[in-house]
Structure 1
Amino acid sequence: MKRTLIAVSAAALFASGTAFAQSDTVVIPGEVRTYVTEQEVPSVTYDGDIAVGSELPSSVEVHTIPSNSDYAYTVVNKKRVIVNPHTHKVIEIVK
């Protein structure tokens, strides 16, 4: 009986840890992505790496999205990126 209880507890703990890890995924609303692809802004040259999770310097101007203040965007090295407007961290590189 104890082994069954331990096995069930371990399985529940593993499952909850897996679910927690998956909660870090950001799902960008489609209308945000569409808005970003339709805007014409000049590309900024930046020597650093542009990758999801990287933080752009505050000198890189980001543009807010009027319909959704949780996201901003810019074009860096000819790549459109969606960023967190408060931290300037790259959330997604738009393809």
Structure 2
Amino acid sequence: MKRILVAVSAALFASGTAFAQSSTTVVIPGEVRTYVTEQEVPSVTYDGDIVVGSELPSSVEVHTIPSNNDYAYTIVNKKRVIVNPQTRKIIEIVK
């Protein structure tokens, strides 16, 4: 009985930790946001959802940020987005 309780507790703790990690907010440096808003690149048409957390396919070209290679950007369906260049996931939709 004690082993079952320990296993259940461990599972709950692990799922809570995973949830906490997935709900963290990324704070993007101001200079990155400024750079992205100043760049002129053509908008790409894409049928998928353009929401934070969605992954862009490799067919959508993303542009690196010279001063900070932790971020990239593109314009999709006329929405300027900041993405993680390694995962291609949208981090922020710039307003």
On whether the aligned pair clears a TM of 0.5, the verdict is yes
- The one-character-per-residue Cα deviations of 1:24-45 (angstroms, maximum 9, x if unpaired) are 5100000000000000000000
Q: CA deviation at 1:87?
A: 1.0
| Overall identity of the aligned pairs, in % | 90
Q: CA deviation at 1:21?
A: 2.6
TM-score w.r.t. length of structure 1: 0.77
Q: CA deviation at 1:69?
A: 0.2
Aligned to 1:61: 61
User: Which structure is larger by alpha-carbon Rg, 1 or 2?
Assistant: 1
RMSD: 3.9
The 1:67/1:47 distance shift into structure 2, 3 A limit, reads same
Q: CA deviation at 1:72?
A: 0.1
The 1:45/1:29 distance shift into structure 2, 3 A limit, reads same
- The one-character-per-residue Cα deviations of 1:40-69 (angstroms, maximum 9, x if unpaired) are 000000001000000000110000000000
Q: CA deviation at 1:93?
A: 0.1
Residue 74 of structure 1: SS of its match in structure 2?
A: strand
**Structure 1: segments with no counterpart, 5+ residues:** none
**Structure 2: segments with no counterpart, 5+ residues:** none
CA distance in 1, matches of 2:67, 2:19: 29
Residue 16 of structure 2: SS of its match in structure 1?
A: helix
Q: CA deviation at 1:15?
A: 15
